[in-house]
Amino acid sequence: MREWTLMGVEIGAGRRSLLPSLAVISALLVCKGLLYGTALLAVIGVAIDIPPGPWAIAVDIAVAVAVVAFWFNRRRHGMVWPTLLAALGAILVIGYMHGLVPAELEWAGLILLLVAAFLDWKAGRRRIG
């Protein structure tokens, strides 16, 4: 049995969906890649100032999309743990971006997103039934 998503990606019963993993990678790129990329440009003499408001909103959207991707992938393998870990990681990352939690907890949130992606990938490899 095959399903089609809104993006036109075919999801079969035996296929692994990489959408949650891609969403986590994009969240990491928006969150830390942009920060370190601008720092690297500053080292070579190019100064770019990114306003914190739009950057925080971009990070919020990226981690929210990751959690939604985990939620939709949950139907395929029946495990809710990757979704819960991703939601906790998203709360920590969003909390840091808005000044509610320290930087160490943001790193913990990013690690939780990576662990959730790994668990989701492992669960997708296992057959149910």
Which pLDDT tens digit goes with each residue over 10-25?
A: 445 445 578 888 999 9
Q: Is residue 31 included in any domain, yes or no?
A: yes
The mean per-residue pLDDT over the stretch 92-107 comes to 92
> Is 33 inside any structural domain?
yes
What's the chain's average pLDDT?
85
Give domain status of residue 7, yes or no: no
User: Does residue 73 lie within any of the structural domains?
Assistant: yes
Mean pLDDT to the nearest integer, 46-58: 90
Q: Is residue 10 part of a domain?
A: no
When divided into structural domains, the chain yields a total of 1
Dihedral angle at the C-alpha atoms of 20, 81, 128, 62, nearest 10 degrees?
Answer: -10
Question: Structural domain of residue 57, as residue ranges?
Answer: 19-125
pLDDT at position 58: 93
Contacts of 117 (CB under 8 A, 6+ apart): 20, 21, 24, 82, 86
Q: What is the pLDDT of residue 125?
A: 73
pLDDT at 1: 47
The percent of residues above 90 in pLDDT, for the chain, comes to 57
Question: Cα separation of 119 and 129, whole Å?
Answer: 19
32: closest CA among 122, 111, 127? 111
First-to-final CA distance of the chain: 14
The angle at the Cα of 58, spanning 120 to 8, to the nearest 5 degrees, equals: 50
115, part of any domain: yes
Calculate mean pLDDT across residues 80-106: 93
In a domain, 13, yes or no: no
Say whether pLDDT at 100 is over 80.
Answer: yes
Give domain status of residue 67, yes or no.
yes
What is the structure's pLDDT at 7?
52
Does the pLDDT at position 108 exceed 90? yes
CA dist 106 and 123 (Å) reads: 26
pLDDT of res. 17: 75
